[in-house]
């Protein structure tokens, strides 16, 4: 008995023991995951996710989650806790950290400024994600099952039994599932099954999308949830991100029943559409935008509301000069969800008013009052993640080779000024102060930032003269593993000295999500001012070429003397004639998916220019997303 007790004590000590530090929530972006660490206490919700990365995205969207801990199947013998994602908050913004084998912990992305997405395309072999099984089909493969889920109003996730499943009667059966939270109630390991999530958030659903909001209309269906919002557009945004909201009704500030004014009713129905519409003044109704074939917006409310007070739990009070400063304070305070600014009429106070930073359990005001002189609004924290790249930009010319203004607004021209000023390479705007280009463009220039100029929003090199605005380069970051372009890691970042003002002529392109290499892009273009033949010259007008992507296997056959790694991607034509060339290096391989342009590749190397059987080789950007985020978040 003594030996058993001693063994247990040793096992517990090895599995869990307190360390001397605390997890501290800071105002900096913290993307690192901590293996074998568990944040103790502060639980606000527990769900189940297949990975820690997925848990981190869920934490970011949750109104209160600041930190999280994920329990892998190695963390405990209790299978009911496998894959648990524990969302956490802390009044002090700190939590004690405990060592736990198999636990993975981290922070929400709320303090980050990179793009995030609720789109989750991964499928999980051997995972049985549990929920309410409400429909079943026999499908030919898991992709058909995924499509069924994506195009079903209620489906959150699915499980598919493969052809080798132990029960012959259940082979090729696709189970569509839902839960109250939108996440599995449990995840079990099971042989010969595959699970995944609906792709509605990926803008690929074929269901009807209704963007209109209908005045003087009430949808009389089951209320999934209720909260207070200042207008029907915020109500619609919240409905879009709610796991079970299909449509909504908003009661305006002029609604006759005072206690129901500004009430946002999130609704659903078994059929997926409203069963009854009632005509009533001062009411607005509409639909979730989750089914729309566009990038689902981040949960961001940018408007401010005059003569409006948001009620909630007060976090802090400051004296500030105006409501804009108050909103900035709220955005910079990680637990602040919304604010109210009360102007001061006192002359001795030099016009300053009081700024009340507030929060609630669901991220919305617990009550909204009018006529008291306040100005209210929401944190803009998540708005920082709605990268301007999510604006749809469609090519204005089909065919031809010359580009026009605003056609490729992320394309920049990188100039070197010594011994004479000339175009050196291309690059892509990916953030307010960040340009992504090729490492080989900067060989020998690592310490020569003063010799570089970034020109944005131009199409013709002849536009550039002495007075043309440009961005000075503050910092050069070359991938630490870069040696030669054809060895890989041909990627570099340029940080410009002052932020780029986004306009229709200059704005960022979206970075792909990590793992987007599985997507089959069919609309890809290479752009640049490079040579149009091997012994040519820099072109005056920005050129564009449509190029098909090529498999790694076919590309390797074309380059037998080189290694085509999984961090490269190839594009071009078997017959040659169309390709990137000298001067295009560092520029974008831009691919459009569901109306959104993504930076899939960086022009890197090739055998000559447009030679038959030798496609262009590009740095595969989705393989470097972590590296980019790490270096642009500092």
- Catalytic residue numbers? 440, 490, 585
The Cα–Cα gap between 285 and 236 comes to: 9
Query: 70: buried, middle or exposed (CB in 10 Å: 19+, 13-18, 0-12)?
Result: buried
- What is the 3-class SS of 586-606, one letter each residue? CCEEEEEECCEEEEEEEEEEC
From the centroid of its chain, how far is CA 152? Answer: 24
Query: 1: buried, middle or exposed (CB in 10 Å: 19+, 13-18, 0-12)?
Result: exposed
CB neighbours of 329 closer than 8 A, spacing ≥ 6? 318, 320, 336, 339, 355, 357
Cα–Cα nearest to 111, from 32, 9, 17: 32
CB neighbours of 154 closer than 8 A, spacing ≥ 6? 134, 176, 178, 244, 268, 272
Residues 115-145: b if buried by 16+ CB within 10 A, e if exposed? bbbbbbbebbeebbbbbeeeeeeebeebeeb
The Cα–Cα gap between 505 and 426 comes to: 16
- As given in the structure block, the two tokens for residue 34 are 């901590």
The Cα–Cα gap between 583 and 586 comes to: 8
Residues 290-324: b if buried by 16+ CB within 10 A, e if exposed? bbbeebbebbebeebbeebbbbbeebeebebeebe
Angle 404-410-416 from CA coordinates, rounded to 5°:
95
Angle 219-225-226 from CA coordinates, rounded to 5°:
80
Angle 486-490-496 from CA coordinates, rounded to 5°:
155
Element (H, E) at 378: strand 367-378
DSSP E strands, 198-241: 214-219, 222-228
β-bridge partners, 40: none
Please identify which residue in the block is written with the tokens 């970051």. Answer: 477
Please identify which residue in the block is written with the tokens 């908050």. Answer: 89
**Torsion angle defined by CA atoms of residues 44, 49, 53 and 59, in that order, rounded to the nearest 10 degrees:** -20
């Amino acid at each position: 008995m003594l030996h058993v007790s001693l063994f247990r004590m040793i096992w517990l000590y090895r599995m869990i023991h307190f360390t001397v530090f605390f997890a501290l929530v800071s105002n900096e972006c913290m993307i690192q995951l901590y293996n074998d660490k568990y944040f103790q206490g502060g639980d606000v919700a527990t769900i189940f996710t297949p990975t820690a990365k997925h848990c981190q995205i869920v934490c970011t969207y949750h109104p209160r989650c600041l930190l999280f801990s994920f329990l892998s199947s190695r963390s405990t013998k209790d299978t009911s806790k496998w894959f648990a994602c524990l969302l956490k908050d802390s009044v002090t913004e700190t939590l004690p950290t405990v060592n736990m084998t198999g636990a993975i912990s981290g922070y929400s992305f709320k303090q980050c400024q990179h793009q995030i997405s609720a789109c989750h395309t991964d499928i999980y072999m051997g995972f049985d994600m549990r929920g309410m099984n409400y429909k079943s089909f026999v499908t030919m493969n898991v992709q058909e099952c995924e499509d069924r889920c994506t195009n079903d109003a209620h489906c959150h996730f699915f499980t598919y039994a493969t052809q080798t499943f132990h029960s012959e009667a259940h082979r090729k059966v696709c189970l569509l599932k839902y839960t109250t939270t939108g996440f599995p109630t449990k995840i079990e390991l099971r042989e010969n099954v595959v699970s995944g999530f609906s792709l509605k958030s990926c803008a690929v659903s074929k269901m009807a999308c209704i963007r209109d909001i209908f005045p003087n209309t009430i949808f009389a269906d089951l209320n999934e949830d209720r909260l207070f919002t200042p207008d029907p557009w915020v109500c619609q945004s919240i409905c879009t991100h709610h796991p079970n909201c299909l449509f909504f009704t908003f009661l305006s500030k002029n609604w006759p029943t005072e206690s129901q004014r500004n009430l946002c009713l999130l609704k659903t129905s078994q059929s997926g559409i409203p069963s009854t519409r009632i005509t009533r003044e001062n009411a607005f109704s509409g639909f979730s935008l989750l089914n729309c074939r566009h990038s689902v917006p981040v949960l961001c409310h940018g408007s401010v509301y005059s003569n409006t007070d948001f009620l909630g739990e007060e976090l802090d009070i400051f004296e500030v000069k105006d409501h804009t400063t108050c909103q900035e304070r709220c955005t910079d305070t990680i637990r602040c969800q919304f604010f109210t600014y009360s102007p001061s009429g006192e002359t001795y106070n030099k016009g300053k008013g009081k700024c009340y930073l507030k929060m609630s359990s669901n991220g919305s005001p617990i009550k909204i009052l009018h006529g008291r002189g306040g100005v209210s609004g929401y944190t803009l924290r998540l708005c920082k993640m709605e990268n301007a790249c999510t604006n749809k930009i469609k090519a204005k010319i089909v065919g031809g080779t010359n580009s026009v203004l605003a056609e490729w607004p992320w394309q920049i021209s990188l100039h070197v000024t010594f011994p004479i000023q000339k175009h050196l390479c291309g690059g892509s705007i990916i953030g307010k102060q960040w340009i992504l280009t090729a490492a080989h463009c900067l060989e020998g220039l690592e310490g020569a930032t003063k010799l570089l100029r970034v020109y944005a929003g131009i199409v013709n090199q002849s536009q550039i003269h002495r007075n043309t605005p440009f961005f000075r380069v503050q910092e050069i970051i070359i991938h630490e593993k870069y040696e030669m372009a054809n060895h890989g890691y041909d990627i570099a970042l340029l940080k410009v000295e002052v932020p780029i003002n986004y306009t229709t002529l200059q704005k960022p392109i979206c970075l792909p999500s990590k793992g987007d290499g599985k997507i089959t892009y069919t609309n890809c273009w290479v752009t640049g001012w490079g040579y149009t033949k091997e012994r040519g010259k820099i072109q005056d007008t920005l050129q564009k070429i449509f190029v098909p992507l090529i498999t790694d296997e076919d590309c390797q056959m074309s380059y037998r003397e080189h290694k085509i790694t999984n961090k490269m991607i190839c594009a071009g034509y078997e017959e040659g004639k169309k390709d990137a060339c000298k001067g295009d290096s560092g520029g974008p391989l831009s691919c459009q998916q569901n109306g959104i342009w993504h930076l899939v590749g960086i022009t890197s190397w090739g055998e000559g220019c447009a030679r038959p059987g030798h496609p262009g080789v590009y740095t595969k950007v989705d393989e470097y997303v972590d590296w980019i985020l790490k270096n642009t978040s500092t």
